[in-house]
Structure 1
């Protein structure tokens, strides 16, 4: 019995919606594939025009007197450009090949007869579904809060009590973008583009986070299933060696896949680490100073949550790989033949080097990494205070 649950369901849907899905659309006609290609190009161009608009606006503000707006504009430029860089790194051929390999082999460890492997896989599937939906919903909520939350004041006139008549103020903007036309005259178009650029940034972020987390969760699930398979190797002289050999081969495939994933993600994780450290600190300073306190609190929450979640899932890979040796010990190894035990001994020696993902060249990604990021943000706030 094999499970039909697709671990990559949410990442695939998000990436197709954003036009960033690089793999073949299985089951689609040639016309649909061509249409999606055109759609992907249009969405790419439409979104990346905001980078030009952000940059021009930043240059304009440099000649003004508002340092606060210059800092706000600079932070927005950093966010959108780094988000685009991270997405570009995840769309490279190397990452696309790793993703394609992961999707094709997602059921290779689900062949046991009693269905226990399917039960493990289903548990990780539910976990992936919950965190991906939660991250996406929270990310879009923050974007909607920024664009819609203040829209009630857009068309509200202010009352000048000294003159005793109503004065129409300039309509406020929540995103510092440059437009080649009068913003007051075409205010509807301005609001639409604000809405589009912010929510598409949320979509990009959701694509990235769901993809990274799901890739890590799949490896952890594979290792968990391998533990069960090693533990369940039969004691029969004829079948034990072949069963153990098959498990060892699958373990080697997981090692290769994890190594390739690490090569594809290490610089993406490095950027995520640096950006998270800076953004968490700067947003915390803004919260303490009372600037957009409600929005910044939600924004701080999503940044901290998604970074800690990445660290947790990366740490899970290491934890599950370290448990493989114990699962082999818990099998009926004392009833196996000498060749089987020799193979078991070699496999145990390999498990002494646990699998893990790295943050560029700066060490492994783990729970301690997330904690150090939060400590760094706290230290920065303490100094600024």
Structure 2
């Protein structure tokens, strides 16, 4: 199979998303000194700007909660809470993406992909193509709902500000126009510096969307690639005589190490997502229930889309790791093991026993992440909704 699609990379889309988010720490796809310097400046700007925005939002949230009329502005408070929980996950994800362990995992995955792309085994190339299509679908969906939500937030704010300006002109009122993100501006006059503050909000929205998109896509892509490695090992095990057991035992050990290192790198991120996604879904739900204008529902519904897609893509891909690791025993049974000598049969039996212990992505130090865990997040969200509503 020489189809160009089979030669593409599972991680290529993730790579460019991370570059857009300013968190790519490996070799850049260009060798232009000007572009490289500009990217490094942009990357440093993102690392400074985004935490500053998050700190400013949290400071403003504290002021809003302690304000004497906070009970009259619950809609804004819950919206701020939803944004903060989401951006905390984004910031932690961005930090994890730049840790040496995960960078090594990405480097190893890119190296193994080159081997797959130059492989002559038709079955391996076909399996890689299927995984590539699945990964591309997940990435496109994540990209669409994330950018859609970012644009919807800006358009919603534009609509609100337009309506308030219209009301102020018609009624000679002086209602304050909200911004996309409620930031702590210290003593800055919002009216006199409206253009500057709108630009800061738009830039914060752009950086947040880029970081959110890049962190989610790289995590899901690495997990999908782990599943792809397991499928490749299954194919080779079924062709035991062609590859040799010693080579396949070593390959199995490398796949186990890859999945374990990946799990060690992202398990606490998964734990945080498990908790914060529940809280965020609840916060968005309360927003939806409190809205009276249908024009204001686009942003919350797209936020729902992000959370549901992230949760179930993560659950589904993590579940595939477990399923495909257990399927190695079936591949061993389907191999021509009966044609081997006694020493190789004993080695196959040892490998078969090891394959009975599934590889899995865990929720922190707790249970394995799966589609069932994704449903548990939704159940937890319902509990938070009832608590917030009361």
TM-score after normalising by structure 2:
0.88
Q: 1:249 to 1:111 in 2, by over 3 A?
A: farther
Query: Which one of 14, 21, 46 corresponds to residue 18 of structure 1?
Result: 21
Alpha-carbon distance between aligned partners in 2 of 1:83 and 1:110, rounded to the nearest angstrom: 32
Structure 1 pair 309–372 and aligned structure 2 pair: CA distance change class (3 A): same
> How many residues matched?
377
Alignment partner, residue 280 of structure 1: 281
| Structure 1 residue aligned with 2:140 | 133
Mapped contact 1:86–1:271 kept (Cα < 8 A): no
Cα separation, 2, equivalents of 1:173 and 1:14 = 27
Do the aligned partners of 1:90 and 1:264 also contact (CA within 8 Å) in 2?
no
- Report the equivalent of 2:177: 171
Q: Which residue of 1 aligns with 2:340?
A: 336
Superposed counterparts of 1:155-194, under 5 Å: 155-156=162-163, 157-158=165-166, 169-179=175-185, 180-194=187-201
Aligned-pair CA distance for 1:164: 7.7
Q: What is the aligned-residue RMSD (CA, Å)?
A: 2.6
Q: Deviations over 1:188-210 (max 9, x none)?
A: 22222211112221111111110
Distance 1:84 1:181 in 2: 26
Q: Distance between the aligned counterparts of 1:158 and 1:30, measured in 2?
A: 49
Alpha-carbon deviation of 1:57?
2.2
Q: How far does residue 263 in structure 1 lie from its aligned partner after superposition? A: 1.0
Q: Which residue of 2 aligns with 1:237?
A: none
Q: Does 79-88 or 105-114 show the bigger shift?
A: 105-114
Indicate how the Cα distance of structure 1 residues 284 and 110 shifts in structure 2: closer, same or farther if over 3 A, else same.
same
Note the alpha carbon deviations across 1:156-194, whole angstroms, 9 max, x for none: 54468xx98766754332321133532222222222221
For 1:230-269, list aligned pairs within 5 A.
230-234=237-241, 243-269=244-270
Structure number with higher relative contact order (C-alpha < 8 Å, ≥ 6 residues apart):
2
Judging by fraction of residues, say which structure has more helix: 2
* 5+ residue gaps, structure 2: none
Which shows bigger deviation, 250-259 or 333-342? 333-342
User: How far apart are 1:55 and its partner, in Å?
Assistant: 3.3
Is residue 345 from structure 1 mapped to residue 346 from structure 2 by the alignment? Answer: no
C-alpha spacing 1:40/1:348, structure 2 compared with 1 (3 Å): same
How far residue 352 of structure 1 moved from its aligned partner, in angstroms, is 0.6
Give yes or no for the alignment of 1:58 onto 2:61.
Answer: yes
Deviations 1:93-127 (A, max 9, x none): 22112222221222445665342211111111111
For structure 1, which runs of at least 5 residues remain unmatched after alignment? 235-239
